[in-house]
Amino acid sequence: MDEHTVELRFQSPHGLFLMQLARAEEDGKFHRFPRHYLEQFHLDHNPEADQLAEQEGYEDWTEMFTAKGWVTLGTGFDSRWMNTELPQLNAYLIETPAYEGTRVTAVRNPYFWKVDAEGNQLPYIDRLVFDVFDSQEVIAFRAAAGNISYQDRHFDHDFRPLLAESMEENGYSLLDVTSTDMNTLLFNLNHSHPDEDMREILTDRSFKAGLSHALDREEIIELVYFGQGEPAQAAPREGSPYHHSELAGQHLEHDVDLADELLDEVLPERDDEGRRLGPDGRPFSIAVDVAADRSVEHARVLELAQGYWEAVGIALEIQTMDRDLRNERRDAGEFDVYVRDGSAGLQDAILRPHWYMPFGDSGAYAWSWGSFYLDGEDAGEAPPEDSPAWRQWEIYDEILVTADQERQTELMEELLDVSAEAFWTIGISTSPNRVGVVADGLRNAPHQLFEASAYQNPGPSYPAVWWWEDPEQAVADDEEAAQQHADDADDDDLPADR
């Protein structure tokens, strides 16, 4: 509209536009492709782009363009962190990308467009150094030894005592990381099971409710999660605008009689040993797929669940497998139960509602319906006509074209009413907060923050204004290199304005 304002017009209202724009995968679509640099790699602007691609070792210009400006093949990393030549508007520019040695470094962008209240150029810190390690233990030990200035990821709950112990001695404090994850483990019962009898049982609400009442969640929290967290179903967390107490709190009490009563509605026959019999007259059992390499905690929860369900006559068979095999079995629909931790429990619930309604294939309970909704008939199959999924999709379609946030929240509540009625997945407990470290002299760095992949922590806590009380304290200090870089940058001419 003028030199600093852009107006966007849509054919229909785009209700989640601003929120989508703020989230990780979508950020920067408007400013991340600098034309003056990237046009040399695009065939429309440079007829010789194909030759250039060949010279640089790419298949063709599309691959070269993707690698230079979007995402590098193979690593799957954003080119902004891999291509040192790409001009950017961010506070920091990559200096040494990943996969080149064991250290990734970034330096301040001398042309960053923000200044502080007194007109000082941001960011304050000249250089960021990330050391790459393969093992969580090493990261934890290094943090405990005070070798890390700031870190808010990759500390398992087990490391909390180690980190707390050396805090004062090595000059750092702990930060409290609230994950937007909302549940430690969700049982996804396959709603599109290829076997018809099985499908009928797994989708039966009484069956799911019965299994849920059979679980002793307090004991699981005590034994597996060190007493942290509260019993909960898959629902947006407290503190989220979409918190839904019925959805979060239904069927949580450990009540074996009630569980038996509910299960009797579905599988009334039992043999002499108390095992419930399936429609084929044989003892009924369900198999659960769990990825071994990801979470030891999940395996422990399942072992406990096995005991609880045996008490109500349901056999649980634990199939530990590689993550790939598990996903492959999920994509083929060949599983009874699939477990995963539940994500998207705060504001992001509205952007990624896959645990509250069939939406894409991440929510394994209705992988096929979810794909149908997002990618059309070729990708998945339609749910039966009486499925609550249809009503939820209708509401979500309306959210997408609603600009008013209050109305969005109302609609989301309606959507979650249906989730509570459908009871898609069985949850265990709320995800406990995690721990991070921040060096004492690092000022303006947060001591409390949220964590989600859509949120890209610690970005929103503004690393550009972090500063060292005493720059000598900086752990991986390499002043000369930083100064060198700053000098080099000073010599460059500012790019001419268009």
Partner 1 sequence: MLPYMIRRIGWSLLTVWLISLVCFFIIQAPPGDFVSVLMADAEAEGRRLSSQQVQVLRERYALDAPWYMQYWAWITGIITVGDFGYSFRWNRPATEVILEHLPFTVLLAGGSLLLTWIIAFAIGVFTAVRRYSISDYLFTFLGFIGLSVPNFVLALVFMYIAFRYFGMSVGGLFSPDMVEAEWSPAKAWDLMRHLIVPALIIATAGTAGLIRITRANLSDELAQPYVTAARARGQREGVLLMRYPVRAAMNPFISTVGYAIPSVISGEVIVSTVLSLPTTGPVLLGALRNQDMYLAGSFLLILGVLTVIGTVISDLVLAWADPRVRRQHSGAAS
Q: Is 135 in the site for partner 1 (CB under 8 A)?
A: yes
Q: Does 475 bind partner 1 (CB under 8 A)?
A: yes
Mark the segment that binds partner 1 (CB under 8 A) among 30-38, 144-152, 263-271, 390-398.
144-152
CA distances from 437 to 131, 180, 322, 466 (A): 15, 19, 31, 15
Judged by phi (left if over 0) then psi (alpha if -120 to 50, else beta), residue 264 lies in alpha
Q: Is 453 in the site for partner 1 (CB under 8 A)?
A: yes
The 10 Å CB-count burial string (b at 16+, else e) for 202-226 is: bbbebbbbbbbbbbbbeebbeebbe
d(CA 383, CA 368): 8
User: Which range binds partner 1 by CB under 8 A, 41-49, 133-141, 408-416, 462-470?
Assistant: 133-141
Judged by CB under 8 A, the stretch of 127-135, 226-234, 298-306, 441-449 that binds partner 1 is: 127-135
Nearer to partner 1, 322 or 404 (CB): 322
Taking CB under 8 A as the rule, does residue 333 contact partner 1?
no
Residue 327 touches partner 1, criterion: CB under 8 A: yes
Q: What is the largest CA-CA distance in the chain?
A: 87
Cβ distance to partner 1 smaller for residue 143 or 435: 143
The angle, 0 to 180 degrees and rounded to 10, between the axes of the packed helices 296-311 and 217-224 is 150
Among 144, 215, 248, 449, binds partner 1 (CB under 8 A): 144
18, 115, 138, 287: which one binds partner 1 (CB under 8 A): 138
- Interatomic CA distance for residues 294 and 290, integer angstroms: 9
Q: Does 322 bind partner 1 (CB under 8 A)?
A: yes
- Strand order, beta sheet including 448-451: 150-151, 434-439, 172-179, 448-451
Q: Which residues are registered as beta bridge partners of 174?
A: 437
Alpha helical stretches, state H, 376-478: 388-400, 405-422
Give CA–CA dist 270/253, Å, rounded: 24
CB of 327 to partner 1, least distance (A): 5
3-state secondary structure of 179: strand
Exactly one of 51, 55, 102, 448 binds partner 1 (CB under 8 A); which one? Answer: 102
Q: How far apart (Å, rounded) are the C-alpha atoms in residues 373 and 376?
A: 6
Mask for 16-35, x = binds partner 1 (CB under 8 A): ---------x----------
Residue 256 interacts with partner 1 (CB under 8 A): yes or no: no
Considering beta carbons, is residue 25 or 394 the nearer one to partner 1?
A: 25
Q: What's the CA gap between 333 and 84, in Å, rounded?
A: 43
CB of 132 vs partner 1, minimal distance in Å: 8
Reading the block at residue 159, the tokens are 């490391």
Q: Is 115 in the site for partner 1 (CB under 8 A)?
A: no
Give the per-residue contact string, 349-378, with partner 1 (x = CB under 8 A; - = no): ---x-------x-x------------x---
List 179's β-bridge partners, or say none. 451
Give me the residue label for tokens 């009898």: 197
Please state, in angstroms and as integers, the Cα–Cα distance from residue 325 to each residue in 74, 105, 289, 337, 405, following that order: 20, 35, 9, 14, 41
Listed in sequence order, the DSSP H helices in 132-278 are 136-144, 160-165, 167-170, 196-203, 205-214, 217-224, 245-249, 256-266
Smallest gap from Cβ 475 to partner 1, in A, equals 5
For partner 1, the closer CB: 312 or 452: 452
Q: Which stretch binds partner 1 (CB under 8 A): 97-105, 117-125, 281-289, 418-426?
A: 97-105
Told to check if 334 binds partner 1 by CB under 8 A, we report no
- Contact residue for partner 1 among 197, 219, 303, 328 (CB under 8 A): 328
Q: Decide if 395 contacts 410 (C-beta within 8 A).
A: no
Distance CA 255, CA 212 (A): 9
Binding positions for partner 1, 34-93, rule CB under 8 A:
59, 63, 72-76
Determine, following the binding rule CB under 8 A, whether residue 287 of this chain makes contact with partner 1.
Answer: no
CB under 8 A: which stretch of 255-263, 402-410, 473-481, 485-493 binds partner 1? Answer: 473-481
Using the 8-state DSSP alphabet, how is residue 286 labeled? E
B/e letters for 271-299, b = 16+ CB within 10 Å, e = fewer, are eeeebbebeeeebbebebbbbeeebebbb
325 binds partner 1 (CB under 8 A): yes
The answer to the question of residue 141 lying near partner 1 (CB under 8 A) is yes
Question: Closest distance between partner 1 and the C-beta of residue 200, in Å?
Answer: 29
204 is an interface residue for partner 1 by CB under 8 A: no
- Amino acid at site 166: S
| Least distance CB 170 / partner 1 (angstroms) | 9
DSSP classification of residue 188: E
Kindly tell me which residue out of 246, 381, 478, 488 binds partner 1, with binding defined by CB under 8 A.
478
**Positions in the binding site for partner 1 (CB under 8 A):** 25, 59, 63, 72-76, 99, 101-103, 129, 131, 133-135, 137-139, 141-142, 144-145, 147, 293, 322-325, 327-328, 343-344, 352, 360, 362, 375, 379, 452-454, 475-478, 481
